[in-house]
Structure 1
Amino acid sequence: MRWQPAELLAAHVETPSARTLTLRIPGWPGHLPGQHLDVRLTAPDGYRAERSYSLSAPAAGDTVEITIQRVPDGEVSGYLVDHFPVGALIEVRGPIGGWFVWNPAADGPVTLVAGGSGIVPLAAMLRARRKSANPSRFRLIYSLRDPDDLYFREELLGTDTPDLDLFLAYTRSTPPGFTRPAGRLTAEEIAAYALPPAPDVTCFVCGPTPFVEFAAAALVSAGHDPAMIKTERFGPTGK
């Protein structure tokens, strides 16, 4: 794959530490939900830094979206979240990845388990399902620290998504009126709220490595086939 320019068409704040970027990439070939792209920044002195970021929505022609969380001392994420201006260019290449994907034209029911910013590629799956004629059942288990950390708030909590089967687990504080007390997501909750194990049910788990390992083990203990559990780990420098 070759590097090519991408123009920032629009951007909006997703959370206090995250920003969604809408990019125009001429000749973009399309992508499956769950894939990602590489971003490269070049400093005036020639220094280059590369990071990988998940695509957060299906492609619309040559327009794509990525959602980026600022990480402490992140030289790429800090610029893209706080300083990258509309109309400016970056270099990208992609799409990348062919295993951690859900194909709306062929795949079936899904349990999604997200930890923090791990919701990003799973949101692309939710959005692709909504755009397609695929009637497969989706269930999302989403663990996050605080209400301010909720990504894609209007879509996940809005009344225009009645088909979304959602379980939220806040680990530090909860919004007013929320009945589940703050605390870590448990294996028992994963077993209770995931779709029942079945040959056609795929589980996608995304988040920090300890969370992914815990959630995947909980799904196996609940009876899910390990071959049907797909994981993606987010590291401290992006994807």
Structure 2
Amino acid sequence: MTELPAGPRAPSGGWRTATVAGVRHPLEGAVELRLDVHDRVDHLPGQHYVVRLTAPDGYTAQRSYSVASAPGDPLVELFVERLEDGEVSTFLADVVEPGDELEVRGPIGGWFVWEGECPALLVGGGTGVVPFVAMLRTARALGRTDLLRVAAATRTLAGLPYADELVDAGALVVSSREAHGIRPAGRLTAADLVPLWEPEQTAYVCGSESFAEAASQLLVGMGVPAPDIRVERFGPSG
């Protein structure tokens, strides 16, 4: 995941030990982890954590995951997509159990945060909706769900993380392989986003490199000022 440097108001935490409090597999090929982070620093919606694994021989591998939980949640919730060649994601999805301890660092990031005060348009693709779930949960806790409008792009509704929660929040769901509601199957278009956009909004875009680029271009083509668009991309760990 890539983003600009953290802003001065964003909280930041160093390496901590986290005890796994819950493990759930809501989708095939994914795991939802609930972590009790020792000496935790409260996060802002849109921030992420790094999970680091260390082998007996000292070899380490680490990966960043967006936080799905609201700051008021006593636990940190991470949604992890299992990648066949992912050193970290396969371990988290296949091996980790409640009671295990993980090494984590966070919260991290300041460019992509939403502080619960300004209207925003959230445009996510696939697992890119995860930080927006944290924003929605925060808005509900603040009684300000009116501030957020959400568009979620996915292949199928069954493969969308937190699908029920997003639909209940009134998100526009665009499925490329099946119709959803009155909308036929197809990729996200400017026509989908125009009804959601208002001039005072900040636009947040999160997803794969290709999705983030395409969604950003849609917004720019609609006339959204580039400084009002914040983008976070997910890609290979390198």
Asked whether the two chains share a fold, i.e. TM above 0.5, the reply is: yes
Distance 2:73 2:174 in 1: 35
Structure 2 residues without counterparts, runs of 5 or longer = 1-12
Distance 1:174 1:19 in 2: 26
Distance 2:50 2:141 in 1: 25
* Alignment-derived partner of residue 41 in structure 1: 53
* Alignment-derived partner of residue 161 in structure 1: none
Percent identity, please.
Answer: 41
Q: Is the CA contact (8 Å cut-off) linking 2:176 and 2:187 kept in structure 1? A: yes
**Cα displacement (A) at 1:187:** 2.6
SS of aligned partner of 1:78: helix
RMSD: 1.8
Distance 1:219 1:236 in 2: 25
One of 156, 166, 173 as aligned partner of 2:171: 166
* Alignment-derived partner of residue 134 in structure 1: 144
Distance 1:128 1:228 in 2: 21
Gap change, CA 1:61 and 1:127, over 3 Å in 2: closer
Structure 1 residues without counterparts, runs of 5 or longer = 159-163
Distance 1:28 1:108 in 2: 26
Once the two structures are superposed, what CA deviation does each residue of 1:150-187 show, in whole Å capped at 9, x if it has no partner? 211331234xxxxx332111112346xx4322221123
Distance 1:184 1:135 in 2: 26
One of 137, 144, 147 as aligned partner of 2:157: 147
Q: Is the CA contact (8 Å cut-off) linking 2:156 and 2:175 kept in structure 1? A: yes
Once the two structures are superposed, what CA deviation does each residue of 1:127-166 show, in whole Å capped at 9, x if it has no partner? 11111143643111110011221211331234xxxxx332
Q: Is the CA contact (8 Å cut-off) linking 2:46 and 2:134 kept in structure 1? A: yes
One of 22, 26, 29 as aligned partner of 1:17: 29
SS of aligned partner of 1:14: coil
One of 74, 77, 80 as aligned partner of 1:68: 80
SS of aligned partner of 2:25: strand
SS of aligned partner of 1:72: coil
* Alignment-derived partner of residue 6 in structure 2: none
Distance 2:14 2:237 in 1: 22
Once the two structures are superposed, what CA deviation does each residue of 1:83-135 show, in whole Å capped at 9, x if it has no partner? 2111001100111001101001xx31111100010001111111111111436
Give, as a single letter, the amino acid of the residue that structure 1 aligns with 2:216: A
How many residue pairs get matched?
Answer: 226
Q: Is the CA contact (8 Å cut-off) linking 2:71 and 2:138 kept in structure 1? A: no
Q: How does 1:109-124 map to 2 (within 5 A)?
A: 109-124=119-134
TM (normalized to structure 1)? 0.88
Distance 1:174 1:189 in 2: 14
2:183 aligned with 1:180: yes
* Alignment-derived partner of residue 93 in structure 1: 105
Distance 2:110 2:158 in 1: 32
Distance 2:186 2:111 in 1: 32
Distance 1:61 1:153 in 2: 20
* Alignment-derived partner of residue 39 in structure 2: 27
Distance 1:147 1:29 in 2: 34
**Cα displacement (A) at 1:63:** 1.8
Gap change, CA 1:136 and 1:76, over 3 Å in 2: same
Q: Is the CA contact (8 Å cut-off) linking 1:11 and 1:19 kept in structure 2? A: yes
Gap change, CA 1:20 and 1:195, over 3 Å in 2: same
Distance 1:194 1:146 in 2: 21
